[in-house]
Structure 1
Amino acid sequence: MTAGVRSVKVTHINGGNGEAARGAASPGDVLVAFMSADSGGNFAMSLGGAWIFGGSMPGGVWPGSNSGTWAGTKIYTKVCEAGEPATYQAFGGAVADTMVTIVAVAAAQTDNVVIQLGANGSSFAPGATPAEASGLQLRYMAGVPSPPGASVSWSVPAGFTELVDEQGDFFTSVMVASAPVVSSLDVPFVTFSSSPSLAAVHGITVLIASTTPPVPDPPVVQPYAPGKGSSQYRYVVTDLRSRQYMGDLELENVSFDKRILQAGSFSATIPIPSRRVGDQIAEIIPRDETYLDRGPGVITVQIFREGEPWGEYWITSAQPSRSRRGTPEIQLRGSTLEAYLSRVEIQSDLFYTGTDQVEIARSLLSDLMSDDHAGIGLNLQSGNSGVARDRVYLDTEGGTYGQRLIELAQVDDGFEWMINFELVDGSLVRNWVWGYPRLGVQDPPPHLFADGRSGGDILEWSEEIDALRGATRWRARGSSSSGDASVAATPLISAVHEATAHLEAGWPRLDKTLSYSTVTEQATLDDYAAFWAQRAAGALRVDQVTVTFGKNPSLTPNNLGDAARLYFNNEWHLPHWRTRRVIGIGITPTSRASGKEEARLVLEGQEAPT
């Protein structure tokens, strides 16, 4: 189970000693007590009842007209026992304004509590390293206003749940917020702002590990055995933003795909054979619109194959239905997280001059995730491509982050990117990865598939050759502008970039002008035209093969961009090997309708925008 808050209780003691109460708790829960006071000295504060001392932060200088030294904070922990008392004796200064906050955490490892103290005068809770990849983080802030008497309130950033925002007699102010821990990577420091701002303030971070890891051990299957049955797949539902675990789903008719620089799709059916199952599903897909914290738009489905993460899909549609025969079912549809990037507009002006194109991409993603309601926790790959760009993105253009990221990549000397759902050092992470000029391993090709006269693992193949998808002369059209309102605006347009080899070989002139209505730089338009003249010249070929997977396939959705060696020897193909990059993959797990797990591989071609 995942560690979570069972209860929170705040006791205000006005002067001297008193009784500090706890909320509901069960044996085995971890209790965390924060004790803060405005005066009386840090040494005077203590808590009775066999608590384990976890750390002390003397308050330091209390500035202002009534300056002095505030007592600061002490922190204690203990494990709730059978017969645990409901209150504890709290000791403080004779005239101190003392606040005692006790948090009860369920499903927690009692010996894996990490406490990190911050710094006086700093309005942030410090970063810390989790003991496990799953758990709960508590962020505690305390301070006093200067001069005393001001009413203090706190604001909590996106991704955190506010548990406490209280103040005793307009002196000591405390705040507690919680969020899940979903990775063994360090949690960062987090700034919590108060109104008014406090000069006498400090923060503490507490990390509490869950009792069980988030992913079970995979089932044991013999190496290279063909996929059979559906037990090798697990479908986990989480909250998109907080990544909080919400439950597992038993799905049928599952299919999912992923592509470079495009959003992949997901579809599945949830059977509802009984009211009991329906009640369970309603905790994830609500029956009516009164439940705003679940359902399409809020949840993702994480896909695990043999215990390894193979994808995460943002669920955007659910359709409950029942046919004339049979029981109800719910049709789910969703997309990879790339689709979410294309649903958030850039609503502030952003300017980049001589900036590496990958750094621009990271900056766009960081800007998106800084929004209060758009932080989806992407881990951004570091490094640069060595190619500098000038870019301007304006609020008035109405462009989305996803749209601009794709345009940024699809230029001459551009790069590729995608979002991978991966297990890194025991932690599940959403990795934004990039490659320049391309993603993947090319030499030697790490994947082999065959279609021979005596069979092979290629089940189906197709080759589409379409002259109307490409062109032999390319231009890019940009923004329309005119300094004179009485004169019609003329769009900026690039030079013509030709597919020289095709024209010299006898191809006719085939023109295509692409529209980039927000681009105002001639050089940028030329980069676009040159890119497509190189990548989509003449007739475009789109090759697809459908292969069957064994237990441990070398190719996964996180390996897109890799090269594959394909052997063909059949009635159409003379015996030969060919090498193709895999730029997309569509998976159909084993099911009642299909006894084999199949993967549809999309091999590198190019589809030019209209």
Structure 2
Amino acid sequence: MATPSYRYVLCDLLTDQLLAVLPLTGVSFSRAISRTGSLSATLKAPAVGTSVNGVVTTPEKNRQLINAAKLLHRYAGRSALWVYRDNAVWWGGIPWTVIPRQDQRGSVEVSVTGATFDSYAHRRTLHKNIDYVQWDQNQLVASLWQTLQGFDTGGDQRGNIGVECGFFQDSIPKSTILRDRTYRMADQPRFGKLIEDLGDVIDGPEHTIDTWVDDAGNRHKTLRVQTRIGVIDPRAVFQRVANGGGRVLEWSHTADAVDGGTTFWARGDAPEGNADTEVEPILSTRYYAHDLLDDGWPLLDVSADYQGVKEVGTLNQYAQALRSTQSGAMPSSDYVVAVGNTGWSPNRLGDNVRLKLTDAWHDNTDLTVRPVAVTVTASEKGVDEKVALTFDAEA
């Protein structure tokens, strides 16, 4: 299989104007459905006269690398970093932290950590009161993105980072599930938390921001919201045969009971009361994983707080979702795969894939499973690409 070529393009966050193509190394990045992905990388500027892979660093080369490092440092928090794999964008996000260091020999090394574009919503605080009454849940997510980017009445579009979110929700498909939500500026909630909380109720919406390039070379950040992201029929097949060959290179199965449980609560805010009266927060009904308890599991309690929620019915939906996703030892599976010519990319997270496995653990296993996250180690000289898919159940 041909080794993919990676390229790292730094642009202004608000205008997407090109700033630099960066010579990053040690790049690792992740994406996930309904959660923020991450990136870590290094930019190295060897001292003049230093030999790297048999090539001596010239004053001109050192100056070019130092200038690139200074640019990256200056634009931390206000730039977009696009990761190209061959001609496709596999990751896009914001470099939030950039730390240059110099060693005793004069070489400079810059560490970069970033997060996907949805992390911007976690840096923005609600700036007005909003009441949503019987809104389709998918379009409610789009409306929150429109508001934080300044497309509401009187909005400040200095917060418009270019996430295409279906202005007036015209490009966001309806879910037929209606929600009531009341958000108050005085609570100072972050938009990102509101969006994630909306998806954490039972049957709540999933979201992601697809990053892609059109035929004219223009880069896009497109919000996608669905009750379930992805297609059902598998379009990619990953196989492992008895001798270890095939597209499945490594695997691991996790059973994690640290955050799992058998009883579930959700806690909201206290209802409004008299100033002289002590008012306790509202609690949901207590829900049980009866099938696990009947099977011999002990009582293990899981609870979560939801700021701004004052309706028992909404808290019950959160508690039911906790029971659905955190019962017992939560299973997950990671598979390191060779993508090759399968056509798979991170924009296809949520699309079912087919796994055909024959090895010491799997006996002629043929499964259709759904990847919900991916972690990639980018290829470079001396380093092979590593693509690890995470599935939402043991496979």
TM-score, normalised with respect to structure 1: 0.58
1:389 aligns with 2:179: yes
Comparing 242-251 with 454-463, greater Cα deviation is found at 454-463
Give, in whole Å, the separation in 1 of the partners of 2:61 and 2:117.
Answer: 28
Q: Residue 12 of structure 2 aligns with which residue? A: 239
1:463 offset after TM fit, Å? 1.0
Corresponding residue number in structure 2 for 1:366: 146
1:549–1:493 CA distance, 2 compared to 1 (3 A): same
2:168 is aligned with 1:379: no
| 3-state secondary structure, aligned to 2:328 | coil
- Whole-angstrom CA distance in 2 between matches of 1:306 and 1:356: 38
Shift of 1:272: 1.3
Q: Give the number of the structure whose residues are more often helix, by fraction.
A: 2
Aligned mate of 1:429, from 220, 225, 237: 220
| Inter-partner Cα distance in structure 1 for 2:92 and 2:331 | 29
Partners of 1:578 and 1:253 in 2: how far apart?
33
Q: Which runs of 5+ in 2 are unaligned?
A: 49-58, 151-155, 166-170
Measure how far apart 1:226 and its partner are. Answer: 3.5
Q: Percent identity?
A: 30
Per-residue deviation at 1:347? 1.8
Letter in 1 for 2:392: E
Paired amino acid for 1:591: E
- Select which of 77, 88, 103 maps to 1:323: 103
Q: Paired residue for 2:70?
A: 286
Q: Please name the residue that 1:601 is paired with.
A: 389
Q: Which position in structure 2 is the counterpart of 1:312? A: 92
**Residue matched to 1:270:** 43
Residue 310 of structure 1, CA deviation:
1.4
Q: Verify: 1:439 aligned to 2:194, yes or no.
A: no
Asked if the contact 1:417–1:434 (Cα under 8 Å) also holds between the matched residues in 2, the reply is yes
Moved over 4 A (4+): 281-285
2:22 is matched with: 249
Which residue, out of 534, 541, 559, partners 2:324? Answer: 534
Aligned-partner Cα distance in 2 for 1:330–1:375:
28
Deviation at 1:326, TM superposition (A): 7.3
| Superposed displacement of residue 288, structure 1 | 11
Q: Which amino acid aligns with 1:430?
A: K
1:558 is the counterpart of 2:350: no
Name the residue aligned to 2:168: none
1:282 Cα offset (Å): 5.4
Q: Comparing both structures, which one devotes a greater share of its residues to strand? A: 1
Matched letter for residue 250 of structure 1:
P
Shift of the alpha carbon at 1:267? 1.4
Q: Is the 8 A contact 2:141 2:225 kept in 1?
A: no
Once residues 139 and 17 of structure 2 are traced to their aligned partners in structure 1, the CA distance between those partners, rounded to angstroms, is 30
Q: CA deviation at 1:374?
A: 1.0
Equivalent residue, structure 2, for 1:26: none
Structure 1 residue 325, shift from structure 2 partner = 5.5
2:88 maps to amino acid: E
Helix, strand or coil at the partner of 2:126: coil
Instruction: Please say if residues 172 and 225 of structure 2, whose CA atoms lie closer than 8 Å, have aligned partners that are also in contact.
Output: no
- Deviations 1:50-89, CA, capped at 9 Å, x for gaps: xxxxxxxxxxxxxxxxxxxxxxxxxxxxxxxxxxxxxxxx
* Matched AA of 2:212: E
The answer to whether structure 1 residue 511 and structure 2 residue 306 are counterparts is no
Q: Does 1:302 align with 2:82?
A: yes
* 1:447 partner amino acid: A
Q: Cα distance, 1:510 vs. partner?
A: 2.0
Provide the rounded CA distance (Å) in 1 between the counterparts of 2:264 and 2:66.
Answer: 52
Give 3-state SS (helix, strand or coil) of 2:270's partner.
strand
Matches of 1:401 and 1:577 in 2, distance apart?
41
1:428 is displaced (CA, Å) by: 2.1
* Matched-pair contact (CA < 8 Å) for 1:285–1:295: no
2 CA distance for matches of 1:508 and 1:226?
52
In the alignment, the residues of structure 2 paired with residue 543 and residue 267 of structure 1 have an alpha-carbon distance, to the nearest angstrom, of: 23
State the partner residue of 1:4.
none
- Once the two structures are superposed, the pairs formed by residues 125-204 of structure 1 within 5 Å of their partners are none
Residue 440 of structure 1 aligns to a residue whose secondary structure is coil
* 1:181-232 per-position Cα deviation (integer Å, ceiling 9, x unaligned): xxxxxxxxxxxxxxxxxxxxxxxxxxxxxxxxxxxxxxxxxxxx2426xxx1
After superposition, the C-alpha distances for 1:524-573 in whole angstroms (9 at most, x for unaligned) are 111111112122221101211112232x3422111111112222222233
Q: Partner of 2:53 in structure 1?
A: none
Structure 1 residue 369 displacement after superposition: 0.7
Q: Aligned partners of 1:310, 1:433: CA distance in 2, in Å?
A: 16
Who is 2:238 aligned against?
449
Contact 2:371 2:391 in 1 (8 A): yes
Give the counterpart letter for 1:259 in structure 2: A
Greater radius of gyration (CA) = 1
The 3-state SS of whatever aligns with 1:300 is strand
Q: Does 1:584 align with 2:364?
A: no
Q: What SS does the aligned partner of 1:481 have? A: coil
Distance, in Å, in 2 between the alignment partners of 1:466 and 1:525 is 25
Unaligned runs of 5+ in 1: 1-224
Aligned length: 371
1:336 to 95, 116, 129: 116
- CA separation in 2, counterparts of 1:468 and 1:328? 41
AA matched with 1:559: R
- The answer to whether the aligner puts 1:458 opposite 2:243 as a matched pair is no
